[in-house]
Amino acid sequence: MLFNRDKGKRPQEVSIRLDGLDTLESRIRKLEAAADDQRAALAALDPLGDRLIELRMRQERAEERARTLETAVADTRRVLDEQSEVLDLVRVTQVAERDDLTREDFLVHYELAQRLRALYTQRMPDLIQPRLTAERPRDVVRRQAQLISRLCVVLFGPDEQGGLGEPDLAELARIATDAGVVGLDARHQRLLERVGTEAAHLFRAMTGSGHAGHFDFAVEPGTPVDSEEHALWPSCEAGRPVAFVVCPGYRAAGRRLLETFVYTEATG
């Protein structure tokens, strides 16, 4: 009797096992289909990988061309600087050594003064920007003015030496980089070289003119600002006493060609 009951259960067990096999086979087919999808996706990525390699190679070639162009620009700028120096020297040799020159005869010195103004107000502030960024001073404008004041002293000599000292280019680099603490990117490194070159060109042109000239650093702290003699540094207020000289004025043959740039005391 028990034997007959066990015998009756076998078809049911076999049916359950077959159903399980069907389910397992279905899962296998799904896994195989998923694997096929993965292989297809990977195969589709192969052209993208090749494309990526191609784009990287193009980028490297473009970067190489950019570096070549930067070098060419720097070389061209140096040539232009040299030509500008030659032109200035040719002009100054045409100016006679006398103090009663007309404005037309004295034009070369006004042009030199304008180059000096651009050096003060454009290239020097740009040059010391990496150091200002690294220092993060509380008063950025005052700190900028202090650093530019130091640059002017090493480039154009202190007033007690006649204000036309030979530019100290090593000290220029030391101030711009805080003695090597602050790194300069390629653009600012080129700017450092340009500032030094321009200062040397101006020095040679001014001293080779045959006229008595000097840079005027001598403005005592506390002196009231004189609009005829002084130019205010950005953010400074008229009517305030002078705190310090930022950039020296320039005189030649007894004429003031460029005002002295001053930083004034803050209000309050």
- The structure tokens listed for 142 are 């005052």
Specify the pLDDT at position 65: 82
Query: Does any domain span residue 171?
Result: yes
The 10s digit of each residue's pLDDT in 107-127 is 677 788 888 999 999 999 999
Place of tokens 């990977």: 42
Query: Does any domain span residue 219?
Result: no
Query: Does any domain span residue 200?
Result: yes
The 10s digit of each residue's pLDDT in 161-181 is 445 567 888 999 999 999 999
How many domains in the chain? 1
Exposure of 76 in the CB half-sphere (CA atoms within 13 A) = 6
Distance between CA atoms of residues 230 and 235, nearest Å? 15
Query: Does any domain span residue 224?
Result: no
Specify the pLDDT at position 131: 96
Domain that holds residue 121: 64-210
Query: Does any domain span residue 157?
Result: yes
Distance between CA atoms of residues 104 and 87, nearest Å? 17
Query: Does any domain span residue 37?
Result: no
The 10s digit of each residue's pLDDT in 21-61 is 667 677 777 777 777 777 777 666 667 667 778 888 888 88
**pLDDT higher for 182 or 203?**
182
Average pLDDT over residues 150-154: 93
The 10s digit of each residue's pLDDT in 54-97 is 888 888 888 888 888 777 777 776 666 666 655 555 555 544 44
How would residue 15 be classed by pLDDT, with cut points 50, 70 and 90?
low
Specify the pLDDT at position 141: 93
The 10s digit of each residue's pLDDT in 207-266 is 776 666 788 888 889 999 888 889 999 889 888 899 999 999 988 877 888 999 999 998
Query: Does any domain span residue 196?
Result: yes
Specify the pLDDT at position 1: 45
pTM over 0.75: no
Residue 244's SS3 state is strand
Q: Rg for the chain (alpha carbons), in Å? A: 38
- The structure tokens listed for 224 are 């009231």
Query: Does any domain span residue 36?
Result: no
